[in-house]
Amino acid sequence: MTGKQPVVVAGAGAIGCFVGGLLAARGHDVTLLARARVIDQINEHGLQLTDFGGMDRRIPAQDLTLTDDPACLKQAAIVLVTVKTSDTAAIAREIRKNTPRNTVVISLQNGMEAAQTLRDILPGHDVRAGMVPFNVVPVGPAAYHRSTSGDIVIEAGQKPLADLLSQPDLVFVDSGDIAAVQWGKLLINLNNALNALSGVTLQAQLLSRPWRGLMAAQMTEALKVLKAHGIRPQSTTPLPSELIPWVLRLPTPIFQRIAAKMLTIDPTARTSMSYDLEAGKPTEIDALQGLIITMGAEKSVPTPLCARVLHHVNQAQAAGQGLPCLSPTDI
Which of 284, 313, 204 has the alpha carbon at shortest distance from 15? 284
- In terms of residue numbers, what domain contains 102? 7-176
In a domain, 1, yes or no: no
Helix ranges, 84-177 (H): 88-98, 113-121, 162-165
Q: What is the pLDDT of residue 260?
A: 78
In a domain, 283, yes or no: yes
Q: Which amino acid is at 2?
A: T
At 266, the pLDDT band (50, 70, 90 cuts) reads confident
Is the pLDDT at 270 greater than 60, yes or no? yes
Q: Are residues 299 and 210 in the same domain?
A: yes
pTM for the full predicted model: 0.87
Average pLDDT score, the chain: 93
- Cα 77 from Cα 79, distance rounded (Å): 7
In a domain, 78, yes or no: yes
- Cα 327 from Cα 331, distance rounded (Å): 7
At 239, the pLDDT band (50, 70, 90 cuts) reads confident
Q: Are residues 86 and 14 in the same domain?
A: yes
Q: Which amino acid is at 269?
A: A
Is the pLDDT at 2 greater than 80, yes or no? no
Beta strand 56-59 with 47-51 is: antiparallel
Q: Are residues 105 and 196 in the same domain?
A: no
Q: Tell me the average pLDDT across 127-154.
A: 93
Per-residue pLDDT tens over the stretch 171-191: 999 999 999 999 999 999 999
In a domain, 196, yes or no: yes
Q: What is the pLDDT of residue 3?
A: 56
- Cα 244 from Cα 304, distance rounded (Å): 20
At 26, the pLDDT band (50, 70, 90 cuts) reads very high
For residue 219, what is the domain's CATH number? 1.10.1040.10
